[in-house]
Structure 1
Amino acid sequence: MMSQIWRWPLHSPRRLLGTLLLLVLVLVVVTMAPTLWSASGRPSASPARTTDDRPAPAPTPSPSSSTAGPSPSESEDYGQALDVARQFVSAWAGNKSSFQVWYAGVAVHATDDFAQRLATVDPKNITARGVIGKLRLTDTGGGGRTEVAVLTDDGLVSVTMLRDRDHRWLVSDLQPGAQQEAG
């Protein structure tokens, strides 16, 4: 019986190829299953929050967002994203006494690539002096990425946040202006 099972895929090149493809598919599914199951969207009572604990506006839809909303663990992480965004923008707009002090304050909250870009910035050219308003999530598309609108004394900035392998939120970009609220 076992010899028949082993001989079946070797009967023709088509069977061998089909068997190999099926084996690869099974291996991919087995290795990806934990990721797929943990990334499945579950409805959340509060997909976003603001720093002043008022109900947040609904996030703007994005092509990568699921209709079910972020999972509960992602919702909790958005609070951390807001905190990191506030700390980063405060450091970015704040102490400009020396480049080393300024850079140390912003680089700790930035991805490696963005930290390298920040190394070319002259902080004296930054006209903002601090955060003056509440922060709001403008894109919670999931996948370890979100955007936060931050009101500074020089206007809105949009902070792009990425979650690293240790599930920490880090700033990957900062642009003037911000996405509009859904509404």
Structure 2
Amino acid sequence: MPIRTNRGRTAVYRRLWGWPLRSPRHLVGTLVILAVVLTAVGIMLPKAIEKPGQTAGRPGSSATSTSRPGVAAPVTVTSTLPPRLTTQPPPSSARPDQDGVRVAKEWVTAWANHPDGITAEQWLSGLKPYTTEEFLSGELTTVNPANIPATKIIGEPQVSSSVVGSMDVDVQTDGPKVRVTVVKTNPGWRVTKFTQAS
């Protein structure tokens, strides 16, 4: 009777584990088969774990119940809550505050005031009384006063929109029409943004 050793079993295991490394074709084939198996397990596992009662709460599924005589039918509770609001209602419009309009006009006057030789610091100090700190120390520090295409105001300011505590004011210059956003702060009305109006 022959003596059984682990040498034969080890050789079989070595051949099985070593097969994918024999050639690139074997390796690619092994990876493809492994990906297919993992995908199938990922699809089938949630369906196998799911309990029968969980399908009733899913959208698109209908809850059906069967009752036998003498057995109480299950009670289905439905909610009639209103849908959640995902957007804020638009703010109500308000009458324009003339102080805000005045600040917008004075800000555009200071913005357009950039004689030859003025430094950026001098130009910013002219805007400081009418501008919020965030806007003054942020976006306005990147502006070169020599590139501003206006030198003076040539028309009266027009309020394009006004809500409580904020308004947009259009001011015509000898260059573009400028739209200034002013907000009510503790020190008073201050400019927080400006763009070229259409």
- Unmatched 5+ residue regions in structure 1? 1-61, 179-183
Give deviations 1:89-130, integer Å, cap 9, x for gaps: 011011342222211001221111110121121111111111
Q: 2:99: which partner in 1?
A: 80
Number of aligned residue pairs: give it: 107
| Larger RCO, structures 1/2 (Cα 8 Å, 6+ apart) | 1
8 A Cα contact 2:114 2:146, kept in partner: no
Which of 95, 101, 112 lines up with 1:93 in the alignment?
112
Which of 130, 137, 144 lines up with 2:152 in the alignment?
130
Q: 1:165: which partner in 2?
A: 186
Cα distance in structure 2, aligned partners of 1:162 and 1:138: 14
8 A Cα contact 2:166 2:183, kept in partner: yes
Cα distance in structure 2, aligned partners of 1:91 and 1:118: 13
Cα distance in structure 1, aligned partners of 2:190 and 2:178: 16
RMSD of aligned residue pairs (Cα, Å): 1.8
Q: 2:134: which partner in 1?
A: 113
Q: 1:21: which partner in 2?
A: none
- Unmatched 5+ residue regions in structure 2? 1-88
Normalising by structure 2, we get a TM-score of 0.50
Q: Give secondary structure in 2 for the equivalent of 1:107.
A: helix
Q: What amino acid maps onto 2:146 in structure 1? A: K
Task: Flag as ranges the 4+ runs of structure 1 deviating above 4 A.
Answer: none
Cα distance in structure 1, aligned partners of 2:168 and 2:144: 24
Q: 1:153: which partner in 2?
A: 174
Larger-gyration structure (1/2): 2
Normalising by structure 1, we get a TM-score of 0.54
